[in-house]
Structure 1
Amino acid sequence: MTQEQLIYTFDQFKHASEYVSFKELASGHINDTFLIETKAEPFFIVQRINHSVFKDVPGLLSNKVSISRHIQNKLSYLSDEELHRQVLRFVQAKNGDYYHKDKHGDYWNVMIYIKDSVTHDVVSNAKIAYEGGKLSGNFLNLTSDFDTSNLTEVIPKFHDMPYRFWQFEQALKVASEDRKSKARVYLLKVAELKEEMHIIQKLKESGQLKLRVTHNDTKISNVLFDKHDNGLCVIDTDTVMPGVVHYDFGDAIRTICNTAAEDETNLDLVHFNIEFYRAYKKGFLEKVASTLSPLEINTLPIGAKTMIFIMALRFLTDYLNNDIYYKTKYPEHNLDRAKNQFKLIDSMVHQMDVIKTKNVYSMD
């Protein structure tokens, strides 16, 4: 992306700012994101949406803008300064849409940059976990009355367990004997956990779990903090879709509570951090417990286990498929990722007596 191309793209949106410089922000794995600095504040975020991953980009951006407006209306009692630090704001394109489609078929959107904000790629202390939980819970709380039928399902069947098992079974049919042999222990684990890992799905399908707005990518790097590690805003709402609360709680726990990197090969380093779990859960329930049913709260632990499992299953499936989805650095990379997630499940299970409290509403 040249400076001239970026300036041209930026100028397809309604702003009255004079461009000064840009820099690429490399934290994302799917989209291309740039910070535009202008002569006067505010600065802007310009983002190219990966339409190979997201097939309906106009629908995706409609989701983002609709949810942002809904949250802004809920927080209208805040000062303009506070509101602008706690909610994503999108800039309209000159054609009236909230995106620009360039001559190459790429889709772009522009957001207002949230000044003096920081992100964390890993959780280093319980306060960050707690603040992340508060923001994720508040996102669910503020959108609990949003009609999910107005949302586009940008990645169909994203957390659908039967679909993920179907993909796994198809991969197993074509996998090489060598790869099946190396993965044999984990193929047995999948079979052992299969019934339990459909609990959340069955509760959802029976209507016992409310279909609500979910973020679906609640890793800690998708939360903005101030310099004192106080939570500011949930970002990266590309995957906002109808879902159940367990998707957001579980995916956050999966990433926050692993004491090692997702592809750490020394499994002795992979443990489930119970301190971070309790801190995140405390912040999460402080904000959203009033809108959840007892069943939703009581099944949060199995929801966390399910979300860890679904990633283990996806990594294992890709390994059996000869690594066609996730980028890999060496032949066993996806298998190592799967092993890592299964070890995290084991560590969580060993602490389940602590995780499951007698009082389902416990903040501890």
Structure 2
Amino acid sequence: MTRPPPDAAAIARALAQFPELADGAASPLTGGLINATFAVRAPAGEFVLQRLHPIFAPQIHDNIAAVTEHLRRRGETSPRLLTTTTGARWADLGALGIWRAMTRVPGVSFEAVRSPAQARSAGALVGRFHATLADLDHPFTVRRTLHDTPAHLRTLAEAVAQHRGHRLFAEVEPLAKAVFAAAETLPPLAPAPLRVGHGDLKFNNLLFDETGPEGQGAARCLIDLDSVAPMPLHHELGDAWRSWCNPAGEERGTSSFDAEIFAAALAGWLEALTFPLEPVERRNLVHGVEWIALELTARFAADALHERYFGWDPQRFPAAGEHHLHRAKGQWALHQATLATRELRAQLLLR
């Protein structure tokens, strides 16, 4: 089941682990599905404090530090991890969880893309991220397994087999069957080079300049760096386009794929790259978003029955399963919409 939020005592103990958070006041930040996140205002500045979900090994902070330090050395904006009273990059509070703190980068995030111009700026930021990290020398000894679609399909099959008595089974089972059938028809993704990537490029993981008219500021920083690692670009950008090109956002039950947003984001990304793409990367990028939308459909559908992984909104839904099923239906609609735009996307990527 989803972990309960940390109480005031746990937050106070976590604050005490980081000298720069001394005399700080914490308030919840919403929007994340995994970690418990708090804004901290302290005499030393403004920070972000997080309790990590148990899916993350604490050693991921070595990866985060390597990436953010490399970005800052090259003049890119990136948060800085704080160290604890013992000099560690995270605090292990036993039953209270693993905690980390970092500087808070000024900026505003959006749940959905506002315009093609904003999408182009976002694409350029991601392109600079990829280009800057192309020469990063770091072992990435701890990595999460990202976008293992066969594993997620197996998890969905197990959920359907194990939860036939679940209150949502009658709605999840036909969706699961449709997902399994779709997986049999999509073109396979060929082995491709690994590039250091972000790993979770949903649109609200980008920060934009908040000066000037809303939605017109330039993209300036990527946040939520738990999954940074070498990965194929079709996973990295497939997930980005899944999020960015759906004007309804991830929380609506109906979805579409905005080809104009896609074209703008792709143009911004390609212009910022400093290395050539291999032909297999371009071919895979055509189908990456189709696979990622299908994979996330499977993940949300499985958790509609398991009710143990993703966070959920008790103000909008009676229980976690209902929220996850709502998300699954939205991603399924998005998957179907990506298929309708395949020819156009192929023209832009393969020319």
Same fold (TM over 0.5): yes
Q: d(CA) in 2 for partners of 1:325 and 1:45? A: 22
Q: Name the residue aligned to 1:354.
A: 344
C-alpha change, 1:285 and 1:323, in structure 2 (3 Å) is same
Q: Which runs of 5+ in 1 are unaligned?
A: none
Q: How many residue pairs were aligned?
A: 334
Look up the SS of the partner of 1:314 in the other structure: helix
Q: Name the residue aligned to 1:211.
A: 194
TM-score by length of 1: 0.80
Q: Name the residue aligned to 2:66.
A: 66
For residue 9 of structure 1, report the CA deviation from its aligned partner.
3.8
Q: d(CA) in 1 for partners of 2:202 and 2:37? A: 18
Match of 1:316 among 282, 285, 301: 301
Q: Name the residue aligned to 1:12.
A: 17
Establish whether residue 250 from structure 1 lines up as the match of residue 252 from structure 2.
no
Q: Name the residue aligned to 2:3.
A: none
Q: d(CA) in 1 for partners of 2:263 and 2:296? A: 22
Amino acid at match of 1:38: A
Contact 1:148–1:212 under 8 Å retained in 2: no
Contact 1:216–1:239 under 8 Å retained in 2: yes
C-alpha change, 1:221 and 1:160, in structure 2 (3 Å) is same
Amino acid at match of 1:12: Q
Q: d(CA) in 2 for partners of 1:335 and 1:27? A: 18
* Structural RMSD (CA): 3.0
Look up the SS of the partner of 1:164 in the other structure: helix
Look up the SS of the partner of 2:201 in the other structure: coil
TM-score by length of 2: 0.83
Q: d(CA) in 2 for partners of 1:335 and 1:297? A: 33
Contact 1:44–1:110 under 8 Å retained in 2: yes
Q: d(CA) in 2 for partners of 1:28 and 1:6? A: 17
Alignment of 1:1-364 (within 5 A): 9-15=14-20, 19=23, 21-39=25-43, 42-50=45-53, 52-54=54-56, 56-57=57-58, 59-73=59-73, 75=74, 78=75, 86-102=77-93, 104-115=95-106, 117-147=107-137, 149-153=139-143, 155=144, 157-176=145-164, 182-183=171-172, 185-197=174-186, 199-200=188-189, 203-204=190-191, 209-227=192-210, 228=212, 229-265=217-253, 267=254, 270-288=255-273, 290-319=275-304, 321=305, 323-326=307-310, 329=317, 333-357=323-347, 360=350
Identity %: 25
Q: d(CA) in 2 for partners of 1:148 and 1:166? A: 32
Amino acid at match of 2:41: E
For residue 237 of structure 1, report the CA deviation from its aligned partner.
0.2
Q: d(CA) in 2 for partners of 1:165 and 1:20? A: 44
Q: Which runs of 5+ in 2 are unaligned?
A: 1-5
- Bigger Rg, structure 1 or 2: 1
